[in-house]
Amino acid sequence: MSAWLLSALTLSLLPTFSMSLAIPRVTALYRYAVKGLSEDVLDSVTFANTGVTFPDDRRYALLQQSRRDRFDGKSWLHKENFLCAFTEPELMATLQSYYRETTAGEKILTIVDRASGDPLFMGNLATEAGRERLGEMMSETSSQDVVCVTASDPSSPQHTFQFGNTSSGFKQRDGDTRTLHIVNAQTVRSLSEKIGVALDPRRFRPNIVIDDVDAWSEFDWVRSKAKLRCINSGLELAVISKTVRCKGISVDPNDLGHVLDIPELLIKHFPEHGPYLGVYAVVDAPGKLSTGDTFEILMGAS
């Protein structure tokens, strides 16, 4: 076979992409160190390798002691096995958490009562003692028996396992649980207009909030296997699935008395989409992402 023919055959097997004219803009970046607790606001994130996620995003989780035999540190587990916003939305909404990593490698978690500001916990999750104390505090607060678990080496900065809400990454990426959650602010506004209630995108627990792109257009990215390429850094995100919503977002942390059945409202007002809002993506090419950055959309074959 000639070199020219081999080259032509190789090119014909590569996926083809078309460019969308929309230019999504990043308006916010969030990290959730402990599954179910509140977000930390980030100005920028550097993804040094493919397949990684936000640093320490959902690195820790509060596992029901009765379900501990199901946790092997390798497989994805459904959120029903954890104390989190899905199993205890009202309780988790009353807690405000802050997480930071020191230059000494400490991973300091602070939890306060959201209403009063009273301190409830401070500890170093890089240590077994710190994780044990968090499990004890949350067991007492919830009247449940839970333990704080992590599947990554606590002493390592490398975050290799994520207690995420989707099995998409695990199924599509050879057992890797790490994904990024993207929410379109225009889609949230579209839902807000339909139900007559202003919704904050943070209610949907995103890692990345984007704007300046049509509402619901992100679902086209899933169908066409699109990639988002950061114009500022070359970072590439492959969009892999839609986000199914659950009762975990029923309570607004900023207004605990305002409870909404978001999945039912989505089905009622947007039956063509069902109970979905947001998309999951994985890092396909390394790079840096900052608030204010923009993406170009590479639409694959639908």
Q: Which CATH number fits the domain that encloses residue 275?
A: 2.40.33.20
In this structure, what token pair is assigned to residue 144? 């449940």
Using 50 as the pLDDT threshold, list the residues of the chain that sit under it.
5-14, 301-302
Given this model, what pLDDT does residue 172 score? 63
Has residue 8 been placed in a domain?
Answer: no
In this structure, what token pair is assigned to residue 163? 């207690």
Q: How many structural domains does the chain have?
A: 1
Given this model, what pLDDT does residue 216 score? 98
pLDDT in tens, 243-263: 999 988 998 887 777 789 999
Full-model pTM: 0.90
Has residue 11 been placed in a domain?
Answer: no
Give residue for tokens 């989707």: 166
Given this model, what pLDDT does residue 95 score? 97
Has residue 93 been placed in a domain?
Answer: yes
State the amino acid at position 219 in one-letter form. F
Between the CA atoms of 76, 99, 189 and 179, what dihedral angle is there, to the nearest 10 degrees? -30
Dihedrals phi, psi of 155, to nearest 5 degrees? -85, -5
For residue 250, count CB atoms less than 10 angstroms from its CB and return exposed for 0-12, middle for 13-18, buried for 19 or more. buried
Domain of residue 288 covers 16-299
In this structure, what token pair is assigned to residue 52? 């990684």
Spatial separation of the C-alpha atoms in residues 270 and 191, rounded to whole Å? 8
Has residue 128 been placed in a domain?
Answer: yes
Spatial separation of the C-alpha atoms in residues 138 and 145, rounded to whole Å? 8
The distance from CA 106 to its chain's CA centroid, rounded to whole angstroms, is 23
Helix (H) or strand (E) run with residue 228 in it: strand 227-230
Helix (H) or strand (E) run with residue 298 in it: strand 295-299
DSSP code at position 161: -
Helix (H) or strand (E) run with residue 223 in it: helix 218-223
Select from 130, 128, 129, 110 the least CA-distant residue to 120: 110
Has residue 266 been placed in a domain?
Answer: yes
Given this model, what pLDDT does residue 20 score? 66
Has residue 6 been placed in a domain?
Answer: no
Beta strands in 36-177 (DSSP E): 40-42, 44-47, 60-64, 95-101, 107-113, 119-124, 146-150
Has residue 2 been placed in a domain?
Answer: no
Give residue for tokens 């975990």: 248
* CA separation, residue 75 to residues 63, 151, 230 (Å): 14, 10, 31
